[in-house]
Amino acid sequence: MPTIIYDEYDVAGKEISSTYEGRHITLPESVLTHPSHTDGFVDKGDPVVYGNFVGVALLSAAAATDQISIDSEGIWALSVVATDEDGNSAVVIGDEIFINTTTAVLSKAYDKNTQQRFGYALMSAVAGATDVIAVKVHMNPDDAEEMVGSSATPYALGAELIGQEFRYSSELDGARAMYIELDQNVAASSMDCLRPRIMVGEFAVAGAYGIHAGVEFAGDTLGRITGLSAGGRFTYFANNRGQTGTISGGMSELYADGAATDYGTATEHSIHRFVNDGEATGKATADNVFAFAGLSAVQFVAATNAVIDHALQCVVNGVTYWIGLYDAKA
């Protein structure tokens, strides 16, 4: 007989349920989210969700106070909608199935704002269809905030070289392997959407990059970029109003941690470094050190000097200067 676990227990070590290793539990009907019915109560065979807990109702209810036995690990024939976050999506064996935390509808939709993991499909369903298929129910709590290690005690990789690895392929226009957004809704002194960094310990490291991004190609004769491309791109997306603060599309920074910091002992140092690397013949074909596009008439102006043709406006230590330019080498 499933055991009621919604009540509090005050004796540590007391066994609450031994039925099928605890897969059956009982909860009040009032706390369960389930498919809608005329009487408003859960029916036997309904998929249900309560917080991180999911399962299938073993009983029908006639009142909100009824105690409903739930199977949290069975294999059940359940109605599943073959859609995900992007629209119609065929269900194949092994797909994760999610339950909507408001409607209790089962599908492949995975948004944690509205969905909770429910189990795995053991049958297939045509994209866009609502079909009854076999589903392996499995409670797999998932939190929006995930933590691996801490600043005080990082997780030790051991023999592994990569902590987490994500590799995807796509044939869709505009695909993104990863999309991260932070919505800041209160006043703040600072914030980071992404903060990757390397903490170099007591041993010498020959080279280190806080972030290493790039565009690569599958082979010498495969792949071609026909428009704008960049190894890294940073954008300050200004809204349609006057801007405040100090603004830049990208920033490189040397930061001295204390008075004993001495850049002069380094082999070479700069606030930003431009490198043209690779095979000698190939890299010799690169002409421009940097390129400017879309500059305003204030940023790029015709010079009044008889020799210098144009000038770039810049700010050095708060003072405006102009870098002289020639339209020819000589």
For residues 124 and 92, the answer to whether their CB atoms sit within 8 Å is: yes
Q: What is the CA radius of gyration of the chain?
A: 30
Token pair for 292: 């400017």
Q: What is the pTM of this model?
A: 0.66
For residues 140 and 49, the answer to whether their CB atoms sit within 8 Å is: no
What is the model's pLDDT at position 1?
45
In this predicted structure, the answer to whether residue 23 has a pLDDT above a threshold of 60 is yes
- Within its chain, how far is the Cα of 234 from the centroid? 18
Token pair for 34: 């389930």
Say whether 306 sits in a helix, a strand or coil: coil
In which residue are the tokens 């909100």 written? Answer: 64
The string of pLDDT tens digits covering residues 246-258 is: 999 999 999 999 9
d(CA 25, CA 65): 16
Which H helix or E strand runs over 80? strand 75-81
CA-closest candidate to residue 72, choices 118, 4, 134? 118
The string of pLDDT tens digits covering residues 80-125 is: 999 998 899 999 999 999 999 999 999 999 888 889 999 999 999 9
In which residue are the tokens 């939709």 written? Answer: 109
Q: What is the secondary structure of 106-120 as a DSSP string?
A: EES---TTTEEEEEE
Average pLDDT, the chain: 88
Say whether 56 sits in a helix, a strand or coil: strand
| Cβ count near 129 (within 10 Å) | 14
In which residue are the tokens 């590799």 written? Answer: 167
Q: Integer distance in angstroms from the first to the last C-alpha of the chain?
A: 94
The string of pLDDT tens digits covering residues 197-245 is: 888 888 888 889 899 999 988 888 888 889 989 999 999 999 999 999 9
